[in-house]
């Protein structure tokens, strides 16, 4: 019989823990310096009625709940987990503006808050407001645009092998979800076959600047083809798009119609050239694609960063409206997460 002896924390372990706390506190302080929370609070208050709780106590401030949503996205936490972390972490509670005497909002309060602001489309307004502030700090620089889409799978899908018709990636034909799915299935999701793998869920379409900072978000079902959504994604831009700047995209966006859309908007067409049957790419087109690719990959880095840093890329909620809220929150958190580094880099130039 063996007895497992629990290792006692050493001085080095304690120093490491303190260092982590300091890093969190430093990051939160930087965000508080960058963002004017008063303007954010005013937007929330217009759409969120605090009222009183069932027992007659005043409800929680909307800004406090929004900051909990930010923490939730940054650290990939559930409603239950973020409630516990704000209770246990001094840096989390400090960022939320809470005192030791205050009781942390429970998971159900946070869920109701998110649902209420989803219905009023307030998260779109918050995303736009934060981006305008980042633009004022020269974090968003409008020298060029990049557009791309990423699949967001949901676990609320049919189990086992599907017998439903599935949309092939880049196909002109779109197959919408069947309405006779079981109640356990998210009926807003659709099937997509991409690189031989089946996906069920949604797509998030990002419009970014040349450094991958997200300035527009569109949420669709997984089966929606990117080639038909260029104008819709451009409409989601939260900042004014200067005339004459280039828009970069992969060859899946290449079409005559999209070329006309960019021309109408006075944007340069830097969509990758696509070879067609009996007409291979010329040397100039290959060189063009190589030059565009040096910047276009940064939107893929954005998708990758959200997955790696925030455990993103997987649906946390049911329905396309709540999924749009998730995509907006992840985009906000990505932009804010990179902001201190961009400011530091700009100061060294």
Last residue of a domain, one of 120, 150, 173: 120
* Mean pLDDT, range 283-299, rounded to an integer: 94
**Residue-wise DSSP of 97-132:** T--TTSPPPPHHHHHHHHHHHHHTTHHHHHHHHHHH
Q: pTM for this structure?
A: 0.86
Same domain, 72 and 215: no
CB atoms within 10 A of CB 23: 11
The yes-or-no verdict on residue 327 having pLDDT over 60 is yes
- Of 116, 109, 106, 57, give the one whose Cα is nearest residue 83: 106
Do 265 and 289 belong to one domain?
A: yes
95 shares a domain with 165: no
pLDDT of residue 171: 57
pLDDT interval class at 259 (50, 70, 90): very high
pLDDT for position 100:
82
In a domain, 86, yes or no: yes
Domain contains 3 = no
Query: Dihedral sign, CA of 268, 274, 276, 281?
Result: positive
- Average pLDDT of the segment spanning 134-161: 89
Q: Which helix (H) or strand (E) holds 168?
A: strand 167-168
pLDDT of 48 higher than 80 = yes
Residue 5 within any structural domain of the chain: no
Mean pLDDT for 265-273 is: 96
pLDDT of residue 65: 96
Q: Which pLDDT score is estimated for 21?
A: 45
Q: Does one domain contain both 260 and 288?
A: yes
247 pLDDT band, cuts 50/70/90, is: very high
Buried b (16+ CB within 10 A) or exposed e, 165-193: ebbebeeeeebebeeeeeeebbbbbbbbe
Q: Examine the domain organization and report whether 152 and 299 are in the same domain.
A: yes
Please check the confidence at residue 84 and state whether its pLDDT lies above 80. yes
Q: What's the pLDDT score for residue 349?
A: 72
Residue 274 CA to residue 187 CA, distance in Å, equals 35
Q: What backbone torsions phi and psi does residue 51 show, to the nearest 5 degrees?
A: 60, -145
Same domain, 297 and 238: yes
Query: Are residues 242 and 173 part of one domain?
Result: yes
> For residue 8, what pLDDT is reported?
54
Please indicate, yes or no, whether residues 115 and 205 belong to a single structural domain of this protein: no
**Which residues form the domain of 30?**
16-120
In a domain, 187, yes or no: yes
Predicted local confidence at residue 201, as pLDDT: 92
> What is the phi/psi pair of residue 214, to 5°?
-75, 125
| pLDDT value, residue 18 | 37
Q: Residue 4 — very low, low, confident or very high, per pLDDT cuts 50/70/90?
A: very low
Query: Which of 89, 120, 151 delimits the end of a domain?
Result: 120
Predicted local confidence at residue 45, as pLDDT:
94
Q: How many domains does one find in the chain?
A: 2
Residue 328 predicted with pLDDT over 50? yes
Please report whether residue 159 resides in a domain.
Answer: yes
- Average pLDDT (139-148) is 95
């Amino acid at each position: 019989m063996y007895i497992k002896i629990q290792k006692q924390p050493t001085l080095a372990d304690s120093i490491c823990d303190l260092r982590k706390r300091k890093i969190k506190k430093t990051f939160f302080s930087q965000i508080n310096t960058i963002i004017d929370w008063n303007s954010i609070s005013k937007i929330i208050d217009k759409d969120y009625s605090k009222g009183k709780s069932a027992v007659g106590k005043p409800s929680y401030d909307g800004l406090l709940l929004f900051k909990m949503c930010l923490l939730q996205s940054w650290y990939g936490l559930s409603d239950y987990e973020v409630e516990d972390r704000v209770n246990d972490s001094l840096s989390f509670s400090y960022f939320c503006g809470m005192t030791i005497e205050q009781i942390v909002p429970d998971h159900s309060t946070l869920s109701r808050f998110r649902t209420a602001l989803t219905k009023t489309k307030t998260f779109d307004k918050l995303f736009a407001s934060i981006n305008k502030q980042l633009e004022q700090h020269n974090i968003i620089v409008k020298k060029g645009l990049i557009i791309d889409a990423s699949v967001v799978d949901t676990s609320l899908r049919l189990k086992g092998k599907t017998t439903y018709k599935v949309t092939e990636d880049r196909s002109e034909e779109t197959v919408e979800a069947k309405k006779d799915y079981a109640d356990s299935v998210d009926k807003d999701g659709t099937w997509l076959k991409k690189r031989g793998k089946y996906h069920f869920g949604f797509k998030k379409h990002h419009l970014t600047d040349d450094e991958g900072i997200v300035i527009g978000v569109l949420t669709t079902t997984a089966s929606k083809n990117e080639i038909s959504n260029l104008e819709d994604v451009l409409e989601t831009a939260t900042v004014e798009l200067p005339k004459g700047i280039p828009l970069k995209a992969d060859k899946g966006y290449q079409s005559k119609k999209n070329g006309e859309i960019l021309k109408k908007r006075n944007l340069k067409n830097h969509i990758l050239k696509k070879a067609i049957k009996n007409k291979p790419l010329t040397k100039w087109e290959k060189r063009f694609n190589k030059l565009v690719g040096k910047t276009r990959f940064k939107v893929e880095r954005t998708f990758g960063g959200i997955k790696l840093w925030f455990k993103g890329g997987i649906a946390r909620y049911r329905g396309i409206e709540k999924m749009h809220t998730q995509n907006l929150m992840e985009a906000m958190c990505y932009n804010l997460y990179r902001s201190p580094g961009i400011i530091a880099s700009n100061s060294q130039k």
